[in-house]
Structure 1
């Protein structure tokens, strides 16, 4: 022994233990030979060519990206979006912009018309340029009718020119003399009591 590593075939190679040796089974080429024979027969007979998978064209909403549309350095609609951007797009798509601005005015009513007027009145509805405001007394209804041109001007500055065209001021709801489920048709009502 000269200290050199053993050469292959010297008989000095260590043998693997029995349990780690690969079983010496003969390889059966029958499956591979059968596949080759079928391929040759198909080609020789002019049979059908191997099928190729056809590419599906993507449709809107199926989650596949059309070829050529690759997200690059600039954001597009497939990238994660901020909630504000998504909500702005939703509002614009559904045409809710004016409704949201009107309801924002409803929420800031006291700030826009003044603290005193705002404490005694509240907006009820807005449709087709007509704003309906209810007051808690007839005196405040009269006061708000006198201030109507100024209130309409202020509201149009907030909402956009021509949004509010008419301000309808209603007084308080009248008292109901009806008590219970039953009533008399064509009765004289509360006048009988005082009369």
Structure 2
């Protein structure tokens, strides 16, 4: 069985969330009698169409997508958040379990950003409060990693290919 991609799991969870919100019941309107609700009269107050942004905001809140959208916003706005000079030497590799992972070009950049970690995290939490990010991890370049994914098989690995 092939492994599912993050997009497949996201779409599956979005479908299941929409299904649980909808609950499979078709809402039928009952005929209203005159004088039932003064706000539901034609051309009455509260009947104006809402803007698309308000509708999308309510959908995001109802479906529980606010943290994922904030995390995507952080990844997109990383160069403006840290500045152009720092962004040239860093790349956001992902967000895993509330930890924003940043790959640095050199160990010098990783060490310097680790020193500024508390300040950056405080600023991140104030500018992106719904992101659910609790920590920052700065990775320095190193030897190639054979670990791909969250599960690891114990053992020596492919070390015999170097000899």
Give TM-score, length-normalised by structure 1.
Answer: 0.52
Partner of 2:113 in structure 1? 144
Greater per-residue helix proportion: 2
CA shift, 1:89, in A, is 0.9
Residues 1:119 and 2:77 are matched in the alignment: no
Unaligned runs of 5+ in 2: 1-24, 147-156
CA shift, 1:95, in A, is 1.3
Residues 1:61 and 2:37 are matched in the alignment: no
* Residues 136/84 of structure 1: CA separation in 2 closer, same or farther (3 Å cut): same
Aligned residues: 123
Unaligned runs of 5+ in 1: 1-58, 178-184
Residues 1:102 and 2:71 are matched in the alignment: yes
Contact 1:130 1:168 in 2 (8 A): yes
**Could you say which structure has the greater relative contact order, defined with CA pairs below 8 angstroms and 6 or more residues apart?**
2
Distance 2:82 2:131 in 1: 18
Cα-Cα RMSD: 3.0
Moved more, 160-169 or 150-159: 160-169
Give TM-score, length-normalised by structure 2.
Answer: 0.60
Contact 2:67 2:131 in 1 (8 A): no
Distance 2:50 2:97 in 1: 34
